[in-house]
Amino acid sequence: MRRAPVRPHFPLFSYWGPGAGIASSRWIGRAAERVVAADRPDLTLVYLPHLDYDLQRFGPDGSEAIAAARAVDEVAGGVIDAALGVGTTVIVLSEYGITAARRPVEINRHLRREGLLDVYTQAGMEYLDPWTSGAFAVADHQIAHVYVREPSMLARVRDLLRSVPGVEHVLDSDGKRAAGLDHERSGELVAVAEPDAWFTYHYWLDDARAPDFARTVEIHRKPGYDPAELFLDPADRAVKARAGVALARKKLGFRYTMNVVPLDPSPVTGTHGRLPDSPDDGPVLLCSDPALATERLAATEVKSLLLRALARPA
């Protein structure tokens, strides 16, 4: 089968945001095929992001998940065939398994209502003030690192978090050590969500005072991960038209704001982060070299596996 040439410009709007889709993974896959065939590098790392999208949008169990798996399987197949064609060992790794999400947990809003999280206001919009806050959370799906300013406040924050519906565990120093999370930049506490729950980063109490970045795809300004960036706001009837105008302004070289992301987290139906209750919900590693096979592999052992694969004779 003859493949179309790689487009010169990466399709950024299909890599993340409401327009995220298979086009970015296809571009990456075709570029990887060309690099493998032309340069035959010792090690090629290829990231195909597509399975993240519809599994977070629609959950892991519906027809959308099956269609997404088939789409990325076609792309991955091309990369695998190219690698095997030049005698390269192939390792296929998923970062995590995605499970159904039904309950957003607004951990920062709980901290704010208890007077622990502070904000400052600019132009009527509220921004998190980490320097004066007694505690705030940096959320990533089912894990939230909670930074507590004073050791004397730890017990109060821990007890508060344990009372929040949707929080299963709150790890202190001993708990973080047992879980391998006692890094110097880890939060003083780490909250773990219940199986069907996940943490938002939201800290404002009135949507009219949400910060300017809240409705945009702005991963570097938000104090936590926002899977709602995968959606156009369903409550805004003009959202598609406004997105089209913003994209046209971008192409013409004008400044633009793509403020189309919903503030309501409920459309998100897939999540990850906590250790899976079943191996069926966990990540998968496949390898073309049977000599490297092992029954189980910790995430921290993947690097050593790659080094063993590199050290083996071709």
In a domain, 117, yes or no: yes
Tell me, what's the pLDDT at 262? 94
pLDDT tens-digit map of 152-208: 999 999 999 999 999 999 999 999 999 999 999 999 999 999 999 999 999 999 999
Same domain, 107 and 88: no
Domain count, the chain: 2
Instruction: Determine the distance from the C-alpha atom of residue 215 to the mean position of all C-alpha atoms in its chain, rounded to a whole number.
Output: 17
Q: Do 109 and 223 have their domain in common?
A: yes
User: Do both 81 and 131 map to the same domain?
Assistant: no
pLDDT, position 261: 93
**75 & 149 share domain:** no
- Spatial separation of the C-alpha atoms in residues 161 and 197, rounded to whole Å: 14
* Relative orientation angle of helices 63-85 and 51-58, to the nearest 10 degrees: 170
Whether 277 is in a domain gets the answer no
Q: Given 196, 229, 262, which residue is the final one in a domain?
A: 229
Question: Is there a single domain that holds both residue 174 and residue 73?
Answer: no
Its pTM stands at: 0.89
Supply 220's token pair.
């570097």
118 and 72 share a domain? no
**Torsion sign (Cα): 99, 104, 163, 211:** positive
Task: Output the pLDDT for position 175.
Answer: 97
The answer to whether residue 179 is domain-embedded is yes
Q: Are residues 74 and 107 in the same domain?
A: no
Residue (of 42, 69, 39, 41) closest to 54 by Cα position: 69
- Which residues form the domain of 55? 12-93+284-311
The 8-class DSSP code of residue 58 comes to H
User: Within this chain, do residues 125 and 223 fall inside the same structural domain, yes or no?
Assistant: yes
Does residue 180 lie in a domain region? yes
Same domain, 135 and 220: yes
CB-CB contact of 262 with 228 (8 Å): yes
Q: Is residue 2 part of a domain?
A: no
The pLDDT value given to residue 259: 78
Q: What pLDDT sits at residue 10?
A: 92
Q: Among 194, 213, 229, identify where a domain stops.
A: 229
**Domain holding 195: CATH number?**
3.30.1360.110
| The pLDDT of residue 5 | 61
Label residue 71 left, alpha or beta by phi (over 0 means left) and psi (-120 to 50 means alpha): alpha
166: its two tokens: 């949707």
Tell me if 241 is assigned to some domain: no
Tally: H helices and E strands in the chain: 8, 12
Cα angle for residues 300, 282, 18 (degrees, 5° grid): 100
Residue 267 lies in a domain: no
Give pLDDT, residue 245.
53
Instruction: Say what the pLDDT of residue 260 is.
Output: 86
Q: DSSP E strands: which ranges in 106-258?
A: 119-122, 125-128, 135-140, 143-148, 167-171, 189-193, 197-199
- Verify that 51 and 160 share a domain, yes or no: no
Q: What is the pLDDT of residue 12?
A: 87
Q: Do 151 and 184 belong to one domain?
A: yes
Question: What are the 10-residue block averages of pLDDT along the chain, 314 residues in total?
Answer: 66 91 97 95 96 94 95 97 95 94 97 98 97 97 98 98 98 96 96 98 98 93 96 75 59 64 95 93 93 88 94 80
In this structure, are 225 and 296 located in the same domain?
Answer: no
Which among 164, 199, 229 is the end of a domain? 229
Residue 244 lies in a domain: no
